[in-house]
């Protein structure tokens, strides 16, 4: 059963150039304990899904339709108290820029204390930092965020995200701003700590190699929709959606020896309202007439593909 769920979610941002439809009936599920990678080009809507799950969308955003559920409860229908508890106890967040997300005016120990609540003793605070394998936890507790390296600050952010033993963590490109040498260590830490605790992890990333290595399932987002979702192994070995195939082909490492990278031709769409067809139609080499006028819908058990050309599978009873 899904622990996190976006169901046919439509989110629009008001901008000076009119509405931008960031999510266009996006559906995504993360089961308890699962590690789900969310991939897709810049602007496809990954971060919007993440913040919508905790109703943390900015003021110019509006959920036009659909629903968001955590533990089976509609987040959109929650009152203030329930929403506060959801953000504080049930969900943890790790963002791209760790130093920017920490309070610059407070020492790490204080920030960790706020997160844990009550009056944690020094020993307890140290234990939280030891868990994220910070080499000198006592010193880190006394430090201000600007005194930490990016990698250390991200370890602190992970400690903060896990401090209240959340049931799910949403990590939005948690290593994108870090030095390449520490990226895989930090990701490994996040994945191993969440796995140990049985915490669901939703990982937005541009790093397909990392997603392949760490995720149990992958959701591919394009034009505000999840166009394909499958167990990670299956998605990488037999991608079905033409966009997924193009995305995998364009990833560094996918090129044959001596060959250059094959970027996806064209640019992703910015949707301004409801769209009748498949958003990938303009860039798809296999498009047929129906792709411009009909929304592809496919139901299946564990490998969903929203493409007119994909074999239609019936939902398992």
The radius of gyration of the chain's CA atoms, rounded to the nearest angstrom, is 20
Give φ, ψ of 146 to 5 degrees.
Answer: -70, -15
Minimum CB distance to ligand ATP, residue 271 (Å): 8
Question: Is the CB of 129 or the CB of 221 nearer to Mg ion?
Answer: 221
Q: Does residue 44 touch Mg ion according to CB under 5 A?
A: no
Nearer residue to ligand ATP within complex by CB, 17 or 119: 17
> How many amino acids of this chain bind Mg ion (CB under 5 A)?
2
- 279, 26 contact by CB (below 8 A): no
Question: What are the strands of the beta sheet with 61-70, ordered from one edge?
Answer: 18-31, 2-15, 61-70, 73-74
Give φ, ψ of 264 to 5 degrees.
-75, 125
The yes or no reply on residue 40 touching ligand ATP (CB under 6 A) is yes
Stretch of 13-21, 225-233, 242-250, 294-302 contacting ligand ATP, by CB under 6 A:
13-21
Q: Are 252 and 269 in contact (CB under 8 A)?
A: no
Supply angle C-alpha 34, 181, 161, rounded to 5.
40
Q: Is 16 in the site for ligand ATP (CB under 6 A)?
A: no
CB of 154 to ligand ATP, least distance (A): 17
Position of tokens 């033409």?
A: 242
Among 134, 133, 54, 144, residue whose Cα is nearest residue 91: 54
For the bound state, the minimum distance from the C-beta of residue 40 to ligand ATP, rounded and expressed in Å, comes to 6
Work out which of 24, 29, 47, 232 binds ligand ATP, going by CB under 6 A: 47
CB of 49 to ligand ATP, least distance (A): 7
Q: Residue 270 interacts with ligand ATP (CB under 6 A)?
A: yes
Site residues (CB under 6 A) for ligand ATP?
A: 13, 15, 20, 22, 40, 42-48, 58, 60, 270
């Amino acid at each position: 059963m899904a622990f996190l769920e976006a169901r046919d979610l439509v989110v629009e941002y008001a901008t000076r150039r009119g509405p931008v439809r960031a999510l266009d009936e996006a559906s995504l599920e993360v089961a308890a304990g699962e590690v789900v990678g969310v991939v897709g080009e810049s602007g496809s809507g990954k971060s919007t899904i993440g913040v919508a799950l905790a109703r943390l969308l900015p003021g110019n955003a509006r959920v036009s339709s659909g629903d968001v559920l955590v533990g089976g409860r509609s987040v959109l229908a929650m009152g203030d108290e329930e929403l506060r508890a959801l953000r504080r106890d049930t969900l943890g967040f790790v963002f791209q820029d760790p130093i920017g997300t920490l309070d610059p005016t407070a020492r790490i120990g204080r920030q960790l204390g706020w997160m844990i609540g009550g009056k944690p003793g020094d020993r307890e605070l140290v234990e939280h930092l030891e868990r994220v394998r910070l080499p000198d936890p006592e010193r880190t507790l006394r430090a201000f965020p600007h005194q930490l390296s990016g990698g250390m600050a991200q370890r602190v952010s992970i400690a903060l995200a896990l401090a209240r033993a959340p049931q799910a963590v949403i990590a939005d490109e948690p290593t994108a701003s870090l030095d390449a040498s520490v990226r895989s260590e930090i990701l490994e830490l996040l994945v191993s700590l969440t796995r140990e605790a049985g915490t669901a992890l939703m990982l937005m990333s541009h790093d397909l190699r990392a997603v392949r290595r760490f995720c149990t399932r992958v959701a591919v987002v394009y034009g505000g929709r999840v166009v394909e979702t499958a167990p990670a192994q299956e998605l990488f070995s037999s991608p079905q959606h033409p966009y997924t195939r193009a995305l995998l082909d364009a990833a560094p490492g996918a090129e044959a020896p001596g060959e250059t990278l094959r970027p996806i031709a064209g640019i992703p769409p910015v949707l301004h309202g409801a769209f009748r067809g498949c958003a990938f139609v303009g860039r798809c080499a296999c498009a047929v007439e129906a792709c411009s006028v009909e929304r592809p819908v496919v139901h299946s058990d564990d490998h969903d593909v929203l493409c007119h050309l994909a074999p239609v599978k019936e939902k398992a009873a």
